[in-house]
Amino acid sequence: MQRKIKLISGWSNPGGSTIHHINLTNLLNSNGYDCTFYGPHDWHLGKCKSGTLTECSLNVYDTVISHFIKINTGNIRNHILSCHETNLFPLKEMDLAGVSLIHFVSNFQKKWHSVNYPSVIIPGVIDKIQWTDPKNETAGVIGSIDSHKQPHLSIERALEAGYKKVRLYGQITELPYYSRYVRPYIEKSIAIYTGHEDDKTKMYNTVCAVFSSSKRECLPTIQGECLAAGIPFFGLKDNMRDPSDFEFDNQVILEKWKAILD
């Protein structure tokens, strides 16, 4: 019997973890595994072998990868808890009963949680973007519009660096923050709010640099995409990861996952 891999997340709207899970699901399925990504939102549907949480049922032969959700896996043989967060999902406060292994995405994140539990570090698959500098003096700010990502600070930093316009790509997930801190820039025609864009090539080719000002990042997907494409990326010093923390060879990532799935 081929064991099924069920990736179960508490978040499947746009975001770094969702992109990671879509890419991982596609990588595993294209290499002989049977993996399905289940989540509570609809954005991931159709982008990989996927389903909603209500469509997910478990049996003892499954391998479960859980993320940002508390689930009782009972006597399932292999339950990998995949953690992409820090304070939003503090492992020291979690009941890890039934968890076989914790998956982290970076050394920084593992050190932050500092839990004495079997673990592995595997960075996510990085989408490869074909980018040509549009030389339009426009900076990009990519990610959800909320107080954690602090896009208003990215706008200010981009303007201070000499960029004339800023394009905002992402969902508004905190309306009061958006109304107070971001909308004034849009009303003054300094920033252009575009919303979420699935076509990353189209998105990145509208800007000549990317700014990020998140309060905390484990392994910024956007930084990795910019590194791979040669796009100037300006993050906050404390949230920038070393290029060696990223893995751009999908085969290396696959082999690391095979070691904990088989």
Measured from the Cβ of residue 224, the count of other Cβ atoms closer than 10 Å reads 23
In our burial notation (b when 16+ CB lie closer than 10 A, e otherwise), range 53-78 reads eeebebeeebbbbbbbeebebeebeb
Of 258, 151, 161, 164, the residue nearest 214 (C-alpha) = 151
What pLDDT is stored for residue 72 in this prediction? 85
Under 8 Å between Cβ of 260 and 254: no
**What pLDDT digit, counting tens, does each position of 61-118 carry?**
999 999 999 998 888 989 999 999 999 999 999 999 999 999 999 999 999 999 999 9
Residue with tokens 């859980």: 66
Q: Is the pLDDT of residue 1 over 70?
A: no
What pLDDT is stored for residue 38 in this prediction? 98
Q: Going by C-beta distance under 8 Å and a sequence separation of 6 or more, which residues neighbour residue 17?
A: 9, 11, 67, 68, 84, 85
Paired sense of beta strands 63-67 and 4-9, if any: parallel
**What pLDDT digit, counting tens, does each position of 175-215 carry?**
999 999 999 999 999 999 999 999 999 999 999 999 999 99
pTM exceeding 0.85:
yes
Residues forming CATH 3.40.50.2000 domain(s) in the chain: 4-125+247-261, 138-245
Interval 218-239 mean pLDDT = 97
Interval 161-182 mean pLDDT = 98
H/E run at residue 38: strand 34-39
Q: How far is CA 184 from the centre of its chain?
A: 28
Answer positive or negative: Cα dihedral of 65, 71, 77, 81.
positive
Domain 138-245: state its class: alpha beta
Q: Is the pLDDT of residue 247 over 60?
A: yes
Around 147, how many Cα atoms within 13 Å sit in the side-chain half-sphere? Answer: 6
H/E run at residue 252: helix 250-261
Interval 144-173 mean pLDDT = 98
Say yes or no: domain 4-125+247-261 is CATH 3.40.50.800.
Answer: no
Q: How far apart are CA 10 and CA 35, in angstroms?
A: 17
What pLDDT is stored for residue 2 in this prediction? 64
What the block records as the tokens of 159 is 């303007």
